[in-house]
Amino acid sequence: MDQVRLAIPNGHLMNDTLKAMSRAGYSISGSSRTYQPSINDHHIELRVLRPQEIPIYVAEGIQDVGITGADWIAETGVKVETLLDLEYSKVRIVVAIQNCMSEICSLSDLIRTFANDRRTLRISTEYPNLASRAIQNNAAYHELFGNQEPLIITPWWRKGENDKVAVYLSFGATEAKPPIAADAIVEVMDTGTSLRQNGLKVIEVLMESSAVLICNSSVLSEPQKREKVLDIATLLGGVIDGRKRLHIFVNVEKSNLEVLLEQLPGLKKPTISPLSDDDWVALNTVIDRSEYLHFIPLLRKLAQGLVVYEPRQVLSLEDVSALRGVES
């Protein structure tokens, strides 16, 4: 089998990615010392890249599969197949301005205020394409400037014709740019602490993002590589599902069994095993974590000897068929 080239992200996505990979059964070593760490699956060639780069490398076929943020797919605008929302590293991409700009409460307000004052609106961001599209899609901007593209300025090139709204590429510390170098920023926000510490407030959320598993479309047409890609997606999907479930074992008197089964939904039909006492059975099932506290009173009344485990993974193997549909 040809090796599948898997790219994992460094930076703030790395720790959660390594935890998810470990929980999925993958052992990765050397990730802190090299950009080509080893993995305990010789059918996978692992590489550590910046999350900004991963969508491009996957789209171009340099990497077969990758883990990156949905925000970077939106920023790069490349065509890749999103196999799985990994549901960690959840952030928001927001528009933020100084707290003292109390009269401005939205992106529309911001655009109108600067246009009415005949001032150029300067926006600093690591997401120039995403920011430019959001501005162009804004109703106030369209009303004032029509289909003109905001000016995007980087050290190497500039594009767009509307110099009344200028988007500047930032190389970090974006929240420190206002008011000297920018009037507003488009920035990634987790808890919002950094924004608050720099005297900024959020006026609009452009998108929500989390880590995603992506692949190059052509890989799914290669039978051997496709199977390995589906293995990766299945194992990581099991980690996601495992976080949402609890595995419970209870002893229940046979006379109470039907009542308990009616009110205790499981992932599948529960396993019921006889005990040495003929009047009792053992019940083994998986329930949604969110339902656990709701069922404690019921279990106290009808069951005995509750044991609870957090499953490492819950693999719904038949769901792989849904992933196979991506290749068509």
Give the model's confidence band at 318: pLDDT under 50 very low, under 70 low, under 90 confident, else very high: low
One CATH from 3.30.565.10, 3.40.190.10, 2.60.40.10, 3.40.50.150 for 92-209 = 3.40.190.10
Enumerate the β-bridge partners of residue 273: 282
Residue 325 three-state SS: helix
Give the model's confidence band at 258: pLDDT under 50 very low, under 70 low, under 90 confident, else very high: confident
Q: Report d(CA 252, CA 15) in Å as an integer.
A: 42
Residue 226 three-state SS: helix
How distant is the alpha carbon of residue 54 from its chain centre? 14
Q: How many CB atoms lie within 10 A of CB 86?
A: 23
pLDDT in the model for residue 300: 86
Mean pLDDT confidence for 210-218: 96
Mean pLDDT confidence for 119-141: 97
Mean pLDDT confidence for 189-198: 93
Q: What percent of the chain has pLDDT over 90?
A: 71
Q: How many CB atoms lie within 10 A of CB 160?
A: 18
Lowest mean pLDDT among 119-128, 150-159, 318-327: 318-327
pLDDT digits (tens, 9 = 90+) for 227-241: 999 999 999 999 999
> What kind of fold does domain 4-89+211-242 have according to CATH?
D-Maltodextrin-Binding Protein; domain 2 (3.40.190)
Q: Where are the domains of the chain?
A: 4-89+211-242, 92-209, 245-312
CA-nearest of 215, 294, 304 to 252 is 304
Enumerate the β-bridge partners of residue 233: none
> In terms of DSSP bridges, do strands 65-69 and 211-215 run parallel, antiparallel, or are they unpaired?
antiparallel
Contact 102, 201 (CB under 8 A): no
pLDDT digits (tens, 9 = 90+) for 259-302: 888 887 665 678 899 999 999 999 988 888 888 888 888 888 88
pLDDT digits (tens, 9 = 90+) for 280-291: 999 988 888 888
Mean pLDDT confidence for 206-216: 97
Q: Is the pLDDT of residue 119 over 90?
A: yes
Contact 245, 287 (CB under 8 A): yes
Instruction: Let me know if the fold of 4-89+211-242 is the same as that of 92-209.
Output: yes
Q: Report d(CA 249, CA 286) in Å as an integer.
A: 9
286: Cβ–Cβ under 8 A, 6 or more apart, which residues?
Answer: 245, 246, 247, 248, 266, 267, 268, 311, 314
pLDDT in the model for residue 328: 46
pLDDT in the model for residue 117: 96
Contact 130, 93 (CB under 8 A): yes
Mean pLDDT confidence for 109-131: 97
Give the model's confidence band at 324: pLDDT under 50 very low, under 70 low, under 90 confident, else very high: low
Q: Which CATH class is domain 245-312?
A: alpha beta
Q: What is 237-306 written as a DSSP string?
A: HHHHHHHTEEEEEEEEEHHHHHHHHHH---SSSPEEEE-SSTTEEEEEEEEEGGGHHHHHHHHHHHEEEE
Question: Alpha carbon of 213 to those of 11, 88, 120, 236, 238: distances in Å?
Answer: 17, 11, 39, 9, 13
Round the average pLDDT of the chain to a whole number and report it.
91
CA-nearest of 172, 173, 135 to 152 is 135
> Per-residue b/e over 180-217, b at no fewer than 16 CB within 10 Å?
eebbbbbbbbeeeebbeebebbebbebeebbbbbbbbe
pLDDT digits (tens, 9 = 90+) for 50-92: 999 999 999 999 999 999 999 999 999 999 999 999 999 999 9
Q: Which long-range contacts (CB under 8 A, 24 or more apart) does 103-108 make?
A: 104/203, 105/203, 106/203, 106/204, 107/134, 107/135, 107/138, 107/140, 107/203, 107/204, 108/138, 108/139, 108/140, 108/141
CA-nearest of 245, 250, 266, 264 to 314 is 245
pLDDT in the model for residue 323: 54
Enumerate the β-bridge partners of residue 125: 169, 186
Give the model's confidence band at 303: pLDDT under 50 very low, under 70 low, under 90 confident, else very high: confident
